[in-house]
Structures are given as C-alpha cells and as structure tokens.
A and B are shown apart, each in its own frame.
Chain A
C-alpha cells in the first residue's frame, strides 16, 4: 500500500448509520410548546394578561433553576432542549389563575430540581414534574386553590342565577354535590372555555383538542394514551352516571381530563414504551380518574391517577415487551 498523505487522514471515522433524521430533542419540545400555544392564547384571551405573566415567570424560573442545578451537579448544560420551559408552561396551566407568584416560583423550582434533576435530569425522572408539583402545591397551599378564578366571559353570564348561587364551585364539584346538570353552565360553555375551572389549562376544550391534534399530527405523541384514557372515562361515567350522555360529556370536558390526556399522560419519560403498554396505561388512568371522581372526597382525580400510573410504568414496561422477530417458528405458510 502506498504511503498515506496527511490530507487523507482528515476523513471522519464514525460508526454507521451515517444518516440521521432531523428531529432532535429540542424540536420535539419545541413542538410541544407550539401545541400548548393555542391553550395559552385562548386562556389569555379569556382571563387576560395574568396568564402570560405567570407563563413568563415560571419559564424564567425554570430556565434559571435548570441552568444552576446542571452547573451545581457538574452535568452537561441542557437548557437548550426546551424541556424545562415545557414543564413550566404545563405547570402554570395546572394552577389557578391568581396563584401567587412566589408560590409559583417555589413550585417551578421544586419541579425542576427535586422531581427532575435529582433523578438524573431529562428522561430519568419517574414521575411527571408538573403533576407531582401540582399535588405538592395543592397540599402546601390549599387556600390558593380554594378560590376559583372567574373567567372574563362569566361577566356575560351574570344573569345566570346558578352561577351566582354557587359562585365558588367548579362543575365537577357541583356534579359531585348532585346538582342537576341543567343548572350548570352549558356544554357549549365548557367546550369554548366559558366556564369556571380550578386550573387555567382546563378552561377551553377546543384549544386543548387543537393542541392535541397538532401533537398527533406531528407524530410527537401517539393516540394510544389519550384515546384509551378518555375512552375509559367516557365508558365509566356513562355507566355510573345512569346512562346519561350529558353527564358523560360533562365529565369529558371538565376537570383536567382532556388537558392531561394529551399533554401530561403522554409525557415520554413517565409513560410506558410500547403501544400495548401505553394502552394499558391509559385504561389505568381512566379507571383511577373515574374512581376518584365518583367515590373519593377529592373533586379531581387526574393528578393522582397520573402519579399512580407513573409509578407503575416500569412494571407495565416489563410486562409489555414485544418478543423479538423470529421467536415464533413458522415454516408452514402457503405461497
């Protein structure tokens, strides 16, 4: 062989494949943020600038917290992957409108530092940061959750006597108290976001569906979790609601169900890997959510359902592994 000239040694040596697709962690997280945009815009329109302010405060806190904790733990800097902003936005959408900023900052730091970084950072945390933080905040600052936000649009419905007589209860609380559905806000209101909710993100069903469809369309999430989750709740609330379609629809469009089904239950890190596992995960969520809604004294079951299923995820993964190709022997196939 002839001697190598120096310039030939500039060839790059790498293990195959030499082609890689353009999708990166950053683009995945960016797409999630785009999907959250309709919800942020719709709620900002309904509630006013306070929503945007909360999103800004939480995002800046999250970026700073992530930056500092990665520095402190001597890990590679990861703020550029946008995952901390996704956590912050989802957390804000899980909280009431007039949630105090200092409590929001405490919550965001808790989500980034304790739930995420302490377990190894992105992809390593076993529980969904936003869900866990919400549960912690509900326990720690219960009073901040008790006072419900009142949509701007509610002013348009002041004449509605029901609204006045039950001014601090959400739809699910009212349903639980046995209030007749007819006296609640209409389904149309639920769908377009003219209702009172505990959390900002639950307000406008159509914006949530828009964002969810975007995620499905861009193949960021798969349909297994949202469909099996929403489907299970639909079936159970239909059965236990005395076969009332209206009761079922109230359950689907109120509370955090839609929002969690598309944005929190589908979190890659804390949901199962295989399609079968995702399906089981969704059904489990549906059952737990319904049980809590119907029979416990909590008004909302989504967060606890998600946290419980997060903990079960490794076990679901273990039991839903697919058998490698070639495990089943089959020679007798007709041509």
Chain B
C-alpha cells in the first residue's frame, strides 16, 4: 500500500528487501510541552558513549549547576559529560551498570531542587570548521538513536568526503515516538543543525528520511521548508514505507540515495553521514542556547505503564524514578532500554538513564514473547525478512556446529541484530542470540 505523497515529499530511490511489518504501538500522546522529571538524585556513568571513558573534573561535595562540565577525556573518541541537575556531588564510585560485565565510574549528584543553569554557558560563536567541530565536541552530543557514537568524531570528515547529510527520522522501532516528537515540535532546531553542518563541513545536500507512519511530522517539516524555500533549497524529505528495520543506517542510506555501504565500511565511505533527528535537534538547541546535552526526551510506554508519554529526563535519573513518574499499573515483568526489537532487558530498575537512551518500556507478561526453541522447519521466513540478505537459519546451523569460519564467510558479521528473523521464526528459535554468540567467537 503506497501512501499518496504531497508535493515536495520524495519517494525512496531504492527499497531494501526484507524486513517485517510490526504493530507500531506508538501510543504516547503528543503535547508540545513535555512533562519534566525532576529527580532528587542522578547517577551519571562516565562511559555512556563509545570510546574512552571520561575522567571526573569535579570532586565529591563540589557544587554543580545544570550544564556544568563534570567529566571529560583527552581522547579523540570520547565525549564530555555535564551535570544534568544542580546540586552537590555526593559520591564518585565504580560500579557495573546492568551487569554488563564492565565497570565504570559513576558520579552521584544530589539535587538542590533549583535546577539552576550554569552561568558560564554562552551561545557558541562559530567562524570556522574547527570552531564548529570544537563546539560539537563541547555539546557532549553522541548518537542519540542508540549507538552513542560521539557526534564530533562522526563529523570529523575530510574535504569533499561526504556530499549528503541524512537526518534519520525513520524511528522504526515500535513504541518509540521521541524522533516524531522532535520533528513536530523542535523542527527548527533540526533544520538549523542540518544547515550548520552542511555549511561548516561543506556538504551540499541534505535529506530528511521519515517513515510513512509519521506523515504528520513530515508535513510539518515540509511546511517549514516551503516557508523559506531559498534557505532550505538543499534539503529534501524522503518518505519511506514503515517496514522494520527501515531506520538502520545502511538501509536509510540505501533507501534515500541508492548507495550501498560495503560490509565493514562506514557511511562516509559512500559519501553519506547519517544523524538521528533527535541528535540534530539537540545540536540545534546547543547552537542556539549553548546548553550542552543534559536532558533526554524518553518514551515511557508498555502495558505496565499507566500514562505512556514522552518525558524530559535529566541524564542519570533512575529508571525507577522515571517509571514512578509515568505511573505503573502493575509490577512489570520485563523492563527494557530502547525498543522491543533491539532493546536491552534490565535486571534492575535502579539503573540510570543514559545519553543515548530513547525509550524505557515496561511490559507485562502477555505483551512480550520469549523464545521457546524447537526444530527449525526450514520455512525460510528468516531469509525472506533479513534486510542484510543473510540466511539466519544456515548461519545458526553453522554456529551450533562451531563452524564460525563458515558462518563468517557467509556474512555473519554483516548481521545488525535487528531481530527480524527472530521475530518471524515459527519455531521460536532465538536466532539473534545465536548470531550474537557466533559474532563473539574467534
């Protein structure tokens, strides 16, 4: 079924194969003003991003204000961390978040209840590409779609290396509506950030990629573009059909430009840089106000939640506080960070919200399905849905026989763990779990 597009919206150039149609479950309400969580305490881990862990720049019992730098790193691949509430540093301790097997330093801040912004924050003055990249670094921005890759590193590009900036507003995971919210209500920040990136990095084209279940957001953006056609001449909107996992970086690039990112390569190798719309909105806000990334809009939803909504959450707030704020109907059986297809199940609610989190879902037992492995019947549904054109059943067969080499030859490392094969499997085999296991083997 094809959505009729209004003038100015573009069809995808190519459509990837595979994927699954999911029940979108985007039940959160949209109101322009988000409810804000004001926690008594926040616990800010210093390894939220991909790259080097930050070192604290504050000491226990220091006074901090919102937006003040509390941790930074000398390393290139890293991202500074700022206080998300005003108050006093209670402790700096080492802990393992969600039993991930690796420990990190965690700064605990006790709120003074005032949320005073840090007075030394100024609106960035940018005169050159170097200034721009420095400001992006200072904003503490990381890939907010979930990857947590430092934005300043992503945008450090060579001259003419990239000719297309893609704003990824696909948001293909069910339940999550953060990007949708940002596109509806923070679209000026998104467009400003796109224009700034295109200007300072010399990228001639901009594309906003949106799934057709968010036509309202697309039309709002289109209206904005049409109001000032001169200013936004280089930006166009591409409407993709909403088939999970359309929002994956490689698929967004393929759908909007027809370019194929080779296995093991980066988007910039085919001249693209992809940024999540929420990241762009935060960058736009930083360029406008100078306030670094201290708050995150989080979709709180799932059958255990009484009021599914997007909440403005200071980074480091405890998930238990956030769930209490949105209200719980019943004790949840499964709580996850992120969407239901790729989200990480939490072992404890006493975990902090991270920079790159975009959803906290609390589900009752009847809302999610656990794997219950039986014999593979070779129905080949997993092959049909794999957007990476792999044969999950054959890969898992090889992994089970410990033929890792064989699996890798057949493209095991191309797997993005999107979960489509696992979702569709009638034998209820935990394919993704096997594939993850295989990818970790030598």
Query: Which A5-59 residues have a C-beta within 8 angstroms of B?
Result: 7-21, 23-25, 27-28
1/0 per residue, CB under 8 A from A, across B356-398: the answer is 0000000101001111001111111001000111110110000
**Closest CB-CB distance, B319 to chain A, in whole Å?**
10
1/0 per residue, CB under 8 A from B, across A178-213: the answer is 000000000000000000000000000000000000
- Bound-complex Cα distance A243 to B250 (A): 51
**Closest CB-CB distance, A123 to chain B, in whole Å?**
4
**Closest CB-CB distance, A30 to chain B, in whole Å?**
11
B residues in contact with A10, CB < 8 Å: 331, 333
* A121 and B380 contact, Cβ closer than 8 Å, known pairs A14-B370, A326-B250, A326-B261: no
- Contact at B374–A25, with CB atoms within 8 Å? yes
A residues in contact with B419, CB < 8 Å: 16-17
- Bound-complex Cα distance A273 to B333 (A): 37
* A25 and B426 contact, Cβ closer than 8 Å, known pairs A269-B377, A327-B263: yes
B393 interface neighbour in A23, A27, A273, A334, Cβ under 8 Å? A273
The closest CB in chain B to the CB of A274 belongs to B383
**Closest CB-CB distance, A21 to chain B, in whole Å?**
6
A residues in contact with B346, CB < 8 Å: 11
A331 interface neighbour in B270, B331, B334, Cβ under 8 Å? B270
B residues in contact with A15, CB < 8 Å: 345, 371, 430, 432-433, 436
- Contact at A325–B389, with CB atoms within 8 Å? yes
- Contact at A19–B423, with CB atoms within 8 Å? yes
A residues in contact with B368, CB < 8 Å: 14, 18-19
A residues in contact with B417, CB < 8 Å: 16
Q: Size class of B's contact patch?
A: 35 or more
- Bound-complex Cα distance A334 to B164 (A): 11
| B15 CB-CB contact with A under 8 Å | no
| A124 CB-CB contact with B under 8 Å | yes
- Contact at B393–A11, with CB atoms within 8 Å? no
A residues in contact with B22, CB < 8 Å: 19
- Bound-complex Cα distance A78 to B417 (A): 29
A residues in contact with B334, CB < 8 Å: 11-12, 14, 18
B residues in contact with A2, CB < 8 Å: 350
- Bound-complex Cα distance A19 to B172 (A): 14
- Contact at B348–A8, with CB atoms within 8 Å? yes
When A and B form their complex, what is the total count of cross-chain residue pairs whose Cβ atoms lie within 8 Å? Answer: 189
| A324 CB-CB contact with B under 8 Å | yes
| A329 CB-CB contact with B under 8 Å | yes
Q: Size class of A's contact patch?
A: 35 or more
**Closest CB-CB distance, B313 to chain A, in whole Å?**
18
Among B125-133, B252-260, B292-300, the stretch that binds chain A is B252-260
| A335 CB-CB contact with B under 8 Å | yes
1/0 per residue, CB under 8 A from B, across A275-299: the answer is 0000000000000000000000000
A residues in contact with B428, CB < 8 Å: 20, 24
Query: Which B386-419 residues have a C-beta within 8 angstroms of A?
Result: 387-391, 393-394, 410-411, 414, 417, 419
- Contact at A20–B423, with CB atoms within 8 Å? yes
B residues in contact with A13, CB < 8 Å: 345, 347
B426 interface neighbour in A17, A24, A317, A322, Cβ under 8 Å? A24
- Bound-complex Cα distance A72 to B347 (A): 40
The closest CB in chain B to the CB of A331 belongs to B270
| A328 CB-CB contact with B under 8 Å | yes
- Contact at A325–B388, with CB atoms within 8 Å? yes
**Closest CB-CB distance, B23 to chain A, in whole Å?**
8
| A330 CB-CB contact with B under 8 Å | yes
- Contact at B95–A325, with CB atoms within 8 Å? no
1/0 per residue, CB under 8 A from A, across B222-258: the answer is 0000000000000000000000000000100010011
**Closest CB-CB distance, B438 to chain A, in whole Å?**
13
- Among A27, A120, A317, the one with the most B-chain Cβ atoms within 10 Å of its Cβ is A317
Chain B interface mostly helix, strand, loop or mixed?
loop
Query: Which B300-358 residues have a C-beta within 8 angstroms of A?
Result: 331-336, 340-350
- Contact at A20–B345, with CB atoms within 8 Å? no
The closest CB in chain B to the CB of A15 belongs to B433
- Contact at B377–A273, with CB atoms within 8 Å? no
The closest CB in chain A to the CB of B421 belongs to A17
B residues in contact with A330, CB < 8 Å: 258-260, 270
B423 interface neighbour in A17, A271, A274, A325, Cβ under 8 Å? A17
| B262 CB-CB contact with A under 8 Å | yes
**Closest CB-CB distance, A285 to chain B, in whole Å?**
17
A residues in contact with B411, CB < 8 Å: 323-324, 327
B residues in contact with A12, CB < 8 Å: 333-334, 345, 365, 370
**Closest CB-CB distance, A171 to chain B, in whole Å?**
34
* A325 and B387 contact, Cβ closer than 8 Å, known pairs A2-B350, A17-B432, A20-B422: yes
- Contact at B347–A325, with CB atoms within 8 Å? no
A residues in contact with B331, CB < 8 Å: 7, 10
- Contact at B380–A274, with CB atoms within 8 Å? yes
* A16 and B343 contact, Cβ closer than 8 Å, known pairs A24-B428, A327-B263, A328-B260: yes
The closest CB in chain B to the CB of A313 belongs to B378
- Contact at B378–A273, with CB atoms within 8 Å? yes
Query: Which B103-148 residues have a C-beta within 8 angstroms of A?
Result: 106
- Contact at B426–A11, with CB atoms within 8 Å? no
- Among A4, A21, A25, A76, the one with the most B-chain Cβ atoms within 10 Å of its Cβ is A21
- Bound-complex Cα distance A323 to B417 (A): 18
- Contact at B426–A27, with CB atoms within 8 Å? yes
* A20 and B371 contact, Cβ closer than 8 Å, known pairs A11-B334, A331-B271: yes
21 A–B contact pairs at CB < 8 A? A4-B350, A7-B331, A8-B350, A13-B345, A14-B370, A15-B430, A16-B422, A18-B343, A18-B369, A19-B22, A19-B341, A20-B423, A76-B374, A322-B383, A322-B389, A323-B389, A324-B389, A324-B414, A329-B260, A330-B259, A333-B257
The list of the 5 closest CB pairs from A to B, nearest first, reads A324-B411, A17-B419, A333-B258, A20-B369, A15-B433
User: Measuring CB to CB, which residues of chain A are less than 8 angstroms from any residue of chain B?
Assistant: 1-2, 4, 7-21, 23-25, 27-28, 76, 78, 81, 83, 120-124, 268-269, 271, 273-274, 317, 321-331, 333-335
